[in-house]
Structure 1
Amino acid sequence: MNKHLNTIEFPLYHGTSSIFLDSIMKKGLGGQNIGDTYQPLKMFAQIVKIFQSKYSDQEWWSKNHYFMEKMVSNDVTRGGFNFRYGGIYLTPCLQTAAKYANSNKYGSELISYFIKAYDALFKFEPEKAEEIFPLNHPLRDVISVVAKPIILEILNVSKDNLTTEQGKPIEEQLDLMKTCPKELWQQLNFESSCVIPPEQLTVLS
């Protein structure tokens, strides 16, 4: 039993990239808002709009449009799938954090999908693609860095600072976690409303 009665009694994890590790260990997890710094959502939305209006019949768009459209609209589906970005998302499942870190080269699902969309548009309209994402944009320096997946372990997170991944109170989710197998915890994630300081973070990989 955790002696800190108002903290989560089990470790939480966050998957990211070595690209942002120095910033995280100096400013804390969430100390730098990538969305505010690099504005990927604004550029991403412009590309999605172009595909919707001009290339909706293309195979790449047909395969990816659902996720792309949900991401730019910051949506939470009726089924509970979260497409909101900019928050600090934590998982009680190490495997979930590892999967996220390994499947998002740039440590951010939003940036990773934006780059995929940019590359797709570049094949059709290279000048327009570079107009949206200029060659001197600071995000290009970030994505040019050789990166590796990083998993962070976070201990003693205050319950007061957490909601569910869908933005709801956590009590019902915590009760559910007491009764269900840990294998199912991968669907039960959290969002922190506060920056998590470096002293609460351990780099696992």
Structure 2
Amino acid sequence: MTATATPVEGATALVTGGQQGLGKAIVDALLEAGAAKVYSTSRRPGTATDPRIAVVEADVTDGDSVRRLVEIAGDATIVVNNAGVLGGQSLLHDDVEDIRAVLETNLFGALRVTQAFAPKLAGRSGTIVNIASVLSWLPGFGSYGVSKAALWSATNSLRLELREQGTNVIGAYLGYTDTSMIADLDVPKNDPADVARQIVDGIISGAPEVLADDLTRQVHAPLFAAS
């Protein structure tokens, strides 16, 4: 069996870290594209005014929490691994446990969710989206950059492993995006709504990757020019 595109119209989706920033924009874009229901996770209890959104308290770094999430949201055919944290800038000087904590969310959190939901997606033309970064391919950004580079590699391997059960795996890559996480940085930023729409378009088309801005496309192009 080979992976195919996933319909969004009428679908049920899950977005981790979906209560703010890019995650919230992805929730909104899925609903705009016709999703019937979106589970939106947060580490804290929450509610939503839109009846199509179900807010679920979940922590992707906790195996028991992820298992409970599967019990609640196991009907999802679209799973977006968006939950993430920033980290320090120095692999040499930052405490190893602080570095490990960033990978625990950004890499292992996505893997936990993927492993938990993969059996539910088998044979259902589902899609998993991993939100990575242009920093997947650029050095000098400490534990955050390492976590996104590792997620890029994991995404490519998961795509191969899950293809036979008919599940597509999309890597979404983007530069600075206008969210609270980087609100203090005085740099050009993407509109989260635009990035989210591109991700939803990728789900619908069955794309393997979404390169959300010019910077990401420029960095990506020479890396794969020979392939």
Same fold (TM over 0.5): no
Higher helix share goes to which structure? Answer: 1
TM-score (norm: length of structure 1): 0.26
TM-score (norm 2): 0.25
